[in-house]
Structure 1
Amino acid sequence: SENANLAYADVVVAGGLGLGTAENLRLIKDLARTIGGDYGCSRPLVQKGWMAADRQIGQTGKTIRPKLYIAAGISGAVQHRVGVEGADLIVAINTDPTAPIFDFANLGVVADAVSFLPALTDAFIRRLAPANRLKLVN
């Protein structure tokens, strides 16, 4: 479904301005779909019209408490932090090693999200493929 259900998702992948273009939102959608999660964004992407407001995470958006939150290209301003600090595990991907998100993330990757996300998605596909094949056979 295209309807956001972020408040109830166990896994959320979100993107921010670090994705560069609206077309790159497919990268967070692909990863979310691969790992069985939902996707969202930071406020600037809603303001640019790249994503619907029901997918905004943060103080003026949704507050989420997933088991896993992956933030790609999100700086982690205090308004965003308020919406995600209840997550069990926060993984941040950002090119700026001094980005505020690294102050509260459990795991940080200093990398370009546009380059890193496809590699991460492929790694999950390879890792999950044997389990998926077993389910299809049974």
Structure 2
Amino acid sequence: MPTRYWVGVVSRNHVQRGVAGGFAQVCHGKCAPLRRMSPGDVLIYYSPKTERDGGVPLKSFTAIGIVQADEPYQVEMTPAFHPFRINVAYDTQVEAAPIHPMLSKLSFTKQELPVHTLSIRESVATSSFHER
């Protein structure tokens, strides 16, 4: 199967937790988006803000990694919250890359004058990452 590229839309502080722990957790812990990923797929995180609740605008790609596991697994974060995760090997040398200079080259963005927006309806989407 060819490599697929996934974009997760997640606040930077949550991305940092995943990178430190070697896992991905998306869509408030849902399993279905992770099940669509396969070992060798590339996950790229886009962080609109520094923190989920509050924070400051960031609008940058904040992490990239390779999916390692076949199946998502469930963890207990609190007695009432058991999110699903999948193992990811992240490139820890990556620095945040602002999206603005790349907008016209990304296939999953659309230009709406005077601003560009991400045309992602879910918080995880697949992309071919071809240039326009």
TM-score when scaled to structure 1?
Answer: 0.29
Normalized per residue, the structure richer in helix is 1
Normalized per residue, the structure richer in strand is 2
TM-score when scaled to structure 2?
Answer: 0.30
Larger RCO (CA within 8 A; separation ≥ 6): 2
